[in-house]
């Protein structure tokens, strides 16, 4: 139909990836974590996460295709501008250092949990559960400069 040919084995691998909902297998997650560590990314634990979420705004890395700003309140709620669309939701930090969030509209309200890594002032994710890509990057700043 589109003039694309694919070997049956490649098609099956692609189909398995799509059917799995783009979630990383434990092996893929371990490889990503090892790669990030080798590149100088530092995994953040629960106390570190709790210091950069409440009272902070997280934004996309400049030049990203998807623009977002999310303000995280101390009460576990968040308010966002996602590509020009307002949204809100809840978030929490687990004792073992995962950041989990659920927006009301974005991704149809599906919870997503990620392990966060820090390098300089940029955060990077490794998907643990939920949907979405496995390589989000963003920056954070204190306060609510966008008045979300």
Global pTM reads: 0.77
For residue 29, the model assigns a pLDDT of: 62
Longest distance between any two alpha carbons in the chain, whole Å: 52
pLDDT confidence tier of residue 48, bands split at 50, 70 and 90: very high
pLDDT tens for residues 14-47? Answer: 333 333 334 445 555 678 888 998 999 999 999 9
Q: Indicate if the pLDDT at residue 65 is higher than 70.
A: yes
For residue 92, the model assigns a pLDDT of: 97
For residue 53, the model assigns a pLDDT of: 95
Contact (CB, 8 A) for 55 and 142: yes
Q: Indicate if the pLDDT at residue 13 is higher than 70.
A: no
pLDDT tens for residues 74-105? Answer: 999 999 999 899 999 999 999 999 999 999 99
pLDDT tens for residues 118-142? Answer: 999 899 988 888 876 667 889 999 9
For residue 4, the model assigns a pLDDT of: 43
Domain 24-142 classification at class level: mainly beta
* Closest among 43, 68, 72, 67 to 57, alpha carbons compared: 72
For residue 80, the model assigns a pLDDT of: 95
For residue 17, give the 3-state DSSP assignment: helix
Q: Please report, for the chain, the start and end positions of each structural domain, with discontinuous segments joined by +.
A: 24-142
């Amino acid at each position: 139909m589109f003039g694309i040919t694919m070997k049956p084995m490649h098609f099956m691998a692609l189909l398995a990836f799509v059917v799995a909902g783009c979630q990383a297998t434990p092996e893929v997650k371990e490889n990503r974590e090892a790669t990030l560590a080798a590149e100088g990314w530092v995994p953040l634990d629960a106390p570190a996460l709790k210091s950069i979420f409440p009272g902070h705004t997280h934004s996309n890395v400049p030049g990203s295709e998807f623009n977002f700003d999310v303000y995280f309140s101390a009460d576990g709620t968040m308010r966002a501008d996602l590509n020009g669309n307002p949204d809100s939701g809840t978030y929490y930090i687990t004792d073992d250092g995962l950041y989990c969030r659920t927006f009301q509209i974005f991704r149809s309200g599906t919870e997503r949990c990620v392990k966060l890594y820090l390098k300089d002032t940029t955060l990077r994710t490794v998907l643990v559960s939920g949907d979405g890509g496995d390589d989000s990057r963003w920056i954070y700043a204190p306060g609510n400069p966008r008045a979300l």
